[in-house]
Chains A and B, each alone.
Chain A
Amino acid sequence: MTVAIEYYVLLSMGLFCIGLFGVLTRRNALMFLMSVELLLNAANINLIAFAFYHGNLTGQVFALFAMALAAAEVAVGLGIILVLYRNFRDVDVTVPTTMRW
């Protein structure tokens, strides 16, 4: 028994909205990073679902790449957060605004 494609899309959409909500509302950098991960995973679900639906493996391979990318991104992101904390004693993303004009 297979699940219809719509449900995957709905799941992905829901996950994406949660991630977006997080990005737009959270001030904590860690939460921010997690929300970004959610966004990426929403995309991954979509890729795999459509790969299964179309019956080719390209999407799955692509999802693997995205996961590797996400891991790298988290590593960099955590590094940034550490530096942020060291400089501002805080991980609030609204605090460091000095790099604008």
Chain B
Amino acid sequence: MEGVFDYAPAIALFPLVAFVVVLAFGTYLPKKGALPGIIATGGSLLLSLVMAAAVASGEAYHETLYEWAAGDATSATGVEGVSFTFGLLIDPLAALMLVIVSLVAFLVHVFSLGYMNAEGETGLPRYYAGLGLFTFSMLAFVVADNLLMAFIFFELVGLCSFLLIGFWFRTKSAPSAAKKAFLVTRFGDYFFLIGVVAIAATFGTVAFAGDDSFVTAAETAIDGGDQLFGFDAQTWVTITGLLVLGGVIGKSAQFPLHTWLPDAMEGPTTVSALIHAATMVAAGVYLVARMFGYYALSPTTLAIIAFVGGFTALFAATMGVVKDDIKQVLAYSTISQYGYMMLGLGVGGYVAGVFHLMNHAFFKALLFLGAGAVIVIMHHEQDMWKMGGLKDKAPVTYYTFLAGALALAGIIPFSGFWSKDEILYDALIVGLEEPVIMAAYAMGLLAVFFTGFYTFRMVFLTFHGEPRSEVAEDPHPVGWSIKAPLLVLGVLAVVAGIANLAPVAKLAGVDITFLEHWLDGEYGAIEGLTYTAYGELLAYETSYIGSEQVTVLVAAGLSLLLAFSGAGLAWLLYNKPEPVAHTERLGSAGKVIEDNYYQDEYQVWLAEGLTLPLARAADRFDQTVIDGIVDGTSTASLFGSDRIRRLQTGIVTNYAALIVTGVIVLLLVLGFLGGWF
């Protein structure tokens, strides 16, 4: 496998070429530019698989390709000069993510043939160009070997998200949703940018890996008890870590910056599947995993990540319970699932978090594409109350969707169960020592119930019962380009759990935790970026209920019980020929949940009630005080000059008189000072 990494840049560049080609010639191409996208992402997928194979054969790749700026300022830790580069870092984590992203991107491109082309959308070159640019940015983000490069592509995926959410820009809601998504994530990215600057200024490097990475530098600074910018090193690492976390919270839609994601469903469903479920939203979580060594140095940050994650998991899951739009339910479930990943990473469960990231990418892309298929079947109807009875009419869609739903709900043995259970198990063993983590665990556990409930409410309302509208009785057929991606993802949603059957491994004592070995560098790895290396940095204590086996059983049993009871409640309430809404039974709580806990309202209030008056006051200060001083100076000099110029009469006698007077006065003054009198 020697030398295959030389082709690594092509993974990201293929979609970029597709973007340029589609943008320039899309209108003239058959399928309006879908084919270059499919070929490019297919090529990326193949190369990603080759990279994964190369990593599996025991290699890894870390190479700086291009230095675009270098400074000679000395950092706070005494490193002279900082250089900003583009480089590639392909280790097990990146290789895994490359495969996930390029696979989902490829399938979404294929699906788009059925979802967009067959439906006769206009502006398709723009759509495929956006997808191409997005895939390029996302893949480049994944292989980024330094924080600044990651930031650049983090912003680019945000831009693509904006462009694609606003694809139907002639409607009123889509541009508004696009703006909201852009602004909310940008608010988080603002902190990320400050964090990047702070890290560069502190450690003189932004590299993720190697001896001169900021992670190593931070570890050295903490061990040496350095003072950085007036804080001790530990506190400063926490501060910068939290700043970077701002971008993560914005991008991965964690509380309180989650409000953009449900609105982002205004975009085409394929875009939701690719960007707002499987990949871009994962960028935040991936970033945490990428610089996990840095976060592992700061227990405070980790605890915050875990708590925010646990809270978001529960918070979003409750909102998903009352939504009627199939995509809205999926959007809230996405927020909730990313909460789980944050919880997993926050408790030090690096493998568990990445495992769930992978599984979620498959089953949530599946669910979104399934929802897209349902929307095609239903002639662009998204209200679940107008569906029903699609089970027999669209069996492929139904069974793949069901596989995704079972995985999402965490029902054994589908993939979601294994990863979610591992996260909860990791949270539990840490939580037994740390009360904050215990609270996060409790919220995550409770969210399992709601997940099971809303998932199966969605399934029953969409596919079971009697058709509740005319279109549901006479569904639109779907073609192979829709069914094939569903089948691929459906299979993955069922079997992806095999990658890391940790509970089975612990109970039966067999060595089948492949993903853990993968991320632990048993194949290829970069030194310091392995699960064991991270584990050594972590300060968490763990303990068990009884023995390890008992704890595994308790954790798995609890989450399964809750998942089944949630699903069972949904079955009781909604698996009827003519289901009725039960939302009003929730009373005033239901109202609060339907209004999304007034998150939008309070954020709008913050913007209009707090920021706007503040900005207005600043504007007034600028207009009156600052401008007043400037204008006052010029007015005074103008007025004064106007008076003084009247001295210039143009009559030469007056000038003579002035000169004489001046001389006399001068003489008198000199006389008085010189003591002549």
- Digitize A53-69: 1 where CB-to-B-CB distance is under 8 Å, 0 elsewhere: 00000000000000000
* Contact partners of A97 in chain B: CB under 8 A: 649-651
Q: Is B656 positioned at the interface, with any CB of A under 8 Å from its CB?
A: yes
Cross-chain contact B656 with A100 (CB below 8 angstroms): no
The verdict on B643 contacting chain A, using a C-beta distance below 8 Å, is no
Q: Smallest Cβ distance from B315 to chain A, in angstroms?
A: 74
B660 touches A (CB below 8 Å) = yes
Contacts A20-B660, A24-B660 given; indicate if A98 touches B650 (C-beta within 8 A): yes
Q: Is the CB of A100 within 8 A of B650?
A: yes
- Closest A residue, CB atoms, query B642: A101
Asked if B656 contacts A101 (CB within 8 A), the reply is no
Hey, what's the 0/1 contact readout for A7-49 against B, CB within 8 Å counting as 1?
Answer: 0000000000000100111010000100000000000000000
CB distance from A68 to the nearest CB of B (A): 24
- B645's nearest neighbour on chain A, judged by CB, is A101
Bound form: Cα–Cα A27–B653 in Å:
8
Bitwise interface map of B from 278 to 310 toward A, beta carbon under 8 Å scored 1, else 0: 000000000000000000000000000000000
- A5 at the binding interface (Cβ < 8 Å): no
Is A96 part of the contact surface with B, judged by Cβ < 8 Å?
yes
Q: Is A93 an interface residue (CB 8 A)?
A: yes
The total of Cβ contacts below 8 Å across the A-B interface reads 26
CB distance from A39 to the nearest CB of B (A): 10
Chain A residues whose CB sits within 8 angstroms of the CB of B649 once the complex forms: 97, 100
- Whether a CB of chain A sits under 8 angstroms from the CB of B652 is yes
Which residues in A have their C-beta under 8 angstroms from that of B653? 23-25, 27, 93-94
Inter-subunit contact A101/B648 (CB<8 Å):
yes
Residue B580, interface by CB 8 Å: no
Considering the chains assembled together, what is the distance between the CA atoms of A101 and B653 in angstroms? 17
CA distance A100 to B656 in the complex (A): 15
Nearest CB on A from B666, distance (A):
16
**Interface residue ranges of B637-677 to A (CB < 8 Å):** 645, 648-653, 656-657, 660
CA distance A32 to B653 in the complex (A): 9
When chains A and B are docked, how far (Å) is the Cα of A83 from the Cα of B562? Answer: 111
Distance between B150 CB and nearest chain A CB, rounded to angstroms: 65
B binding-site residues for A, Cβ under 8 Å: 645, 648-653, 656-657, 660
Query: Cβ of A23 and Cβ of B650 under 8 Å apart?
Result: no
Hey, which chain A residues are within 8 Å of B660, CB to CB?
Answer: 20, 24
CA distance A32 to B655 in the complex (A): 13
Q: Is A1 interfacial (CB-CB < 8 Å)?
A: no
B650 touches A24 (CB 8 A): no
- Chain A 77-101, CB-CB to B under 8 Å as 1, else 0, gives 0000000000000000110111111
Bound Cα distance A94, B651 (Å):
5
Chain B hits for A27, CB < 8 A: 653
- Contact check, A24 vs B648: say whether CB atoms are below 8 A apart: no
* Docked CA distance A94–B654 (Å): 9
A–B complex contacts, Cβ < 8 Å, 5 sampled: A24-B653, A94-B651, A99-B650, A100-B649, A101-B645
Contact A100 B648 (CB under 8 A): yes
Among residues of A, the one whose C-beta sits closest to the C-beta of B641 is A101
Q: Which residues of B contact A100 (CB under 8 A)?
A: 648-650
- Bound: A96/B652 CA distance, A: 9
Which residues of chain B are within 8 angstroms of A25 by Cβ–Cβ distance?
653
Min CB–CB distance B312 → chain A (angstroms): 73
Known: A32-B652, A93-B652, A96-B650. 14 other contacts (CB 8 A): A23-B653, A23-B656, A24-B656, A24-B657, A24-B660, A27-B653, A93-B651, A93-B653, A94-B653, A97-B649, A97-B650, A99-B650, A100-B648, A100-B650
Nearest CB in chain B to that of A92: its residue: B651
Chain A residues with CB under 8 A of B652: 32, 93
